[in-house]
Amino acid sequence: MIRNEELEAVLETIDLRNDAPIEEPMRQYYFIKKAREIVNAESEKLGRRLTADEETFGCQMNAKDSEKLIGILENIGFEMMDDESADLVFYNTCTVRDNANQRVYGRLGLIHSMKKKNPHKKVALCGCMMQEPTVIEKIQKSYPFVDLVFGTHNIYKFAELIVSMYNSDKMIIDIWEDTDKIVEDLPAERKYSFKSGVNIMYGCNNYCSYCIVPYVRGRERSRNPKDIIREIEKLVSEGVVEVMLLGQNVNSYGKNLEEPMTFAQLLKEVEKIEGLERIRFMTSHPKDLSDDLIQVMKDSKKICRHLHLPLQAGSTRILEAMNRRYTKEQYLELAAKIRREIPDISLTTDIIVGFPGETAADVDETIDVVRKVQYDNAFTFIYSRRTGTPAATMPNPVSEEEIKANFDRLLEVVHETAKSRVGRLLGETHSVLVEESSGTQLSGRLSNNTLVHFEGDAVLVGTIVDVKLTEAHGFYYIGKINMQEHRLEELLQKCRHRELPEEKML
Ligand code: SAH
Ligand code: SF4
Ligand code: F3S
């Protein structure tokens, strides 16, 4: 692990007159030093610090990548701001559905006029959308003012890419088709001080027939368990109490490691980390969810009582066409088993409406699963055709009207079941991790991920308090702190004297 001061010591030893080393992460340390020189010189010219603005689209994996990118930017001297007038604007893009792409193109239109007024402005694009050759063609043709384009496999090279960008007048494009490399020990800037996502694996090998992720995120690769544990221990030492283990299919974690390890085994190791209070993970593919995992969750004091178990469709025929590799009955059996073993668990899901050939009768099957499983929440998406995926060339596209009718029918049942489920804890007292404050209004989450709003002191953000759930409102509760006076006072005192970590580690 490398701390700030350790990185500074390494940077001291680097002589920029030499060529850049080949080995990572040394090569990136070299470019961090070089980028600092460039940023410094630019700042001197302007008489102020260079500023940068980022916007992240898509999933938690992208959010985590953005923390790494921002970490590098801050380390080389940029000041982050939340405004597209910044000297450097970068978009970390998503391409899972077409509307995510359209939003990026819309933004680029706006940026173009800003760049005309300020030619020193730099624009960088990265993330999943950039892994698609058709997108790159369109950017070259329609948005030639973009300065830097890179993909999902080389984000660790950001410092090096920034150096190239400032040394060139042309658009720099660096996209890798795939990688087997995982580069550790680079800077990262966390959005929250008390919770953090932790990548445990990258890529996806499942090839669900509608999904572009395997093409833009590459083959599945698991991080070494030692690196994961080391990162979580470091996070906990900085005040993190909740981690979210991230992967497209965490249930297949560890299969390609030199010493194979299961996700259930990894969870047991993470559970042992002292000071860590809550463990979450995303996403579980139903086909790979083992009995061992259910057992580990059941026995755990730290794993949250929430499981996101994407269904996608309730009709076995459609599931087969989607290449999900489970039937409606297998899914229902799995959900029933989980509920039997862990009765207080909340189940949530993702559903796609309008997959090619999907009939109203198929959607009835989906609705049947929603009724039987009783989800706390379901994210419903309209099928989006992704070029290059097998589903893109499947026959019988569903008409917009049919999709809308089916979508509305489904949504009604989703809301109905969610409302009845979410209210079930009304009147009980549960622990809540306080995540946000607005004046004396606090918001936080139960172990099962439901939102709770209640009155309290803003210093409590980042701590776990007991809250009585006094009103249920569909997807959230209103509550009241319910702790013995002296325990609350003790906690408040501790929070008021909480020291900010003296240094950030890299
Ligand atoms: N790896 C995760 C999901 C990643 S994408 C998993 O397997 O569950 C998040 C969600 O987007 C998916 O669960 C799916 O419901 C939705 N999705 C993916 N591709 C889509 C498409 N082409 N059209 C509409 N929704 C899609
Ligand atoms: Fe896409 Fe399926 Fe992989 Fe999830 S498991 S990322 S839906 S291919
Ligand atoms: Fe989007 Fe890429 Fe995530 S396509 S959903 S940002 S993995």
Q: Find all residues with CB under 8 Å of 504, minimum gap 6, and list them.
A: 4, 189, 238
| Total number of residues shown for the chain | 506
Dihedral of CA 487/489/492/493: which sign? negative
Check residue 504 and give its pLDDT.
Answer: 44
3-state DSSP assignment of residue 505: strand
CA distance 31 to 157: 9
Would the pLDDT of 219 be above 80?
A: yes
Q: For 402-413, write each residue's pLDDT tens digit.
A: 999 999 999 999
Please give the C-alpha separations between residue 425 and each of 9, 447, 450, 476, in angstroms, as whole numbers: 53, 12, 10, 11
Q: Which of 40-44, 347-351, 472-476 has the lowest mean pLDDT?
A: 472-476
**Ligand located closest to 94 CA:** 3
- Mean pLDDT value across residues 171-196: 89
Q: Is the peptide bond before 283 cis (omega within 30 degrees of 0)?
A: yes
Residue with structure tokens 């496999």?
Answer: 153
What integer pLDDT is reported at residue 502 of this predicted model?
46
Model confidence at 505: pLDDT above 60: no
Of 270, 157, 180, 228, the closest CA to residue 1 belongs to: 228
Residues whose CB falls within 8 Å of the CB of residue 2, separated by 6 or more in sequence, listed in order: 10, 185, 505, 506
> Read out DSSP for 334-399?
HHHHHHHHSTT-EEEEEEEE--TT--HHHHHHHHHHHHHHT-SEEEEEE----TTSGGGG-S-PPP
Average pLDDT, integer, range 46-51: 95
- What mean pLDDT is reported for the chain? 94
490 alpha carbon – ligand 3 mean position (Å)? 43
| DSSP-assigned states of every residue in 38-74 | HHHHHHHHHTS--EEEEEE-SSHHHHHHHHHHHHHHH
- The answer on pLDDT for 69 being more than 60 is yes
433 near 464, Cβ under 8 Å? yes
Alpha carbon of 184 to ligand 3 centroid (Å)? 21
Task: Check if 289 has its Cβ closer than 6 Å to any atom of ligand 1.
Answer: no
Atom of ligand 2 nearest to the CA of 211: 1
Query: pTM of this prediction?
Result: 0.94
Query: What mean pLDDT comes out for the span 446-475?
Result: 95
Question: Would you say residue 506 has pLDDT above 60?
Answer: no
What's the average model confidence in pLDDT over 99-125?
Answer: 93
Do the strands 195-199 and 172-174 form a parallel or antiparallel pair, or are they unpaired?
unpaired
Tokens 């004046």 belong to residue: 439
Q: What is the pLDDT of residues 224-276, one digit of tens each?
A: 999 999 999 999 999 999 999 999 999 999 998 999 999 999 999 999 999 99
pLDDT recorded at residue 2: 63
**Atom of ligand 2 minimally distant from the CA of 283:** 4
pLDDT of res. 500: 53
Q: Please report which confidence band the pLDDT of residue 437 belongs to, taking 50, 70 and 90 as the band edges.
A: very high
Confidence band (pLDDT; 50, 70, 90) for 6?
confident
Which of residues 187 and 293 earns the better pLDDT score?
A: 293
Give the chain's domains with CATH numbers. 4-174 (3.40.50.12160), 190-292 (3.30.750.210), 305-424 (3.30.750.200), 426-504 (2.40.50.140)
- What's residue 499's pLDDT? 58
Residue 28 CA to ligand 2 centre (angstroms): 31
Could you tell me which residues come within 8 angstroms of residue 324 by beta carbon, excluding any fewer than 6 positions away?
208, 286, 287, 312, 313
**474, two tokens:** 């569909």
Does residue 62 line the site of ligand 3, with CB under 6 A? yes
> Does 498 have pLDDT greater than 80?
no
